[in-house]
Amino acid sequence: MDQGEDEPTNETLGRIANQESDLRKATASILMQLSTGRIGLSGYLNRINRRESARCNCELGNQTVNHVLLECPLLQNKRDWMRNALSDRGVSLRRDELLARPEARTIVAEFMVRTCLLRQYQTVDPMALGVEECDEK
């Protein structure tokens, strides 16, 4: 693409560019995992014999993409944040919108990182999304 050699190349601009590139990669990776269902959630890990149970920690269902995005009560606070962020951009909290609307991409990806559920599987550096710590499992 257009990586102009004649643009300002001071350290700050370079760092910002790197962060944006990491953010795009992290977001794309998470969105791909969500839409294929091949993701570090028990529902999938169980299917590929990487985890004994497909159940979510809330015990209300299997830990699937839908469950995590829309249902799991353990993630309600984080989901409220996501709902607010989405509604600012005119996106509803519905699976078809979450995974299809371009405006939703970084929000959904950040939600997934904030859930800390992908830690054992993800190739994404949470720092790329500005999420520095996982406060719960």
Residues that bind Zn ion (CB under 5 A): 56, 58, 72
Structure-token pair, residue 5:
């050699």
- Please answer whether residues 113 and 39 qualify as being in contact, where contact means their C-beta atoms are separated by less than 8 angstroms: no
Q: Which is nearer to Zn ion, 19 or 66 (CB)?
A: 66
Q: Which is nearer to Zn ion, 79 or 105 (CB)?
A: 79
Distances (CA, A) of 31 to 101, 113, 134: 11, 11, 20
CB of 69 vs Zn ion, minimal distance in Å: 11
- Alpha-carbon distance 117 to 56, whole Å? 10
Q: Which is nearer to Zn ion, 74 or 107 (CB)?
A: 74
CB of 97 vs Zn ion, minimal distance in Å: 21
Comparing CA positions, the residue from 120, 117, 114, 118 lying closest to residue 133 is: 114
Q: Which is nearer to Zn ion, 76 or 84 (CB)?
A: 76
Q: Which is nearer to Zn ion, 16 or 58 (CB)?
A: 58
CB of 6 vs Zn ion, minimal distance in Å: 52
CB of 135 vs Zn ion, minimal distance in Å: 17
- Alpha-carbon distance 86 to 110, whole Å? 12
CB of 80 vs Zn ion, minimal distance in Å: 15
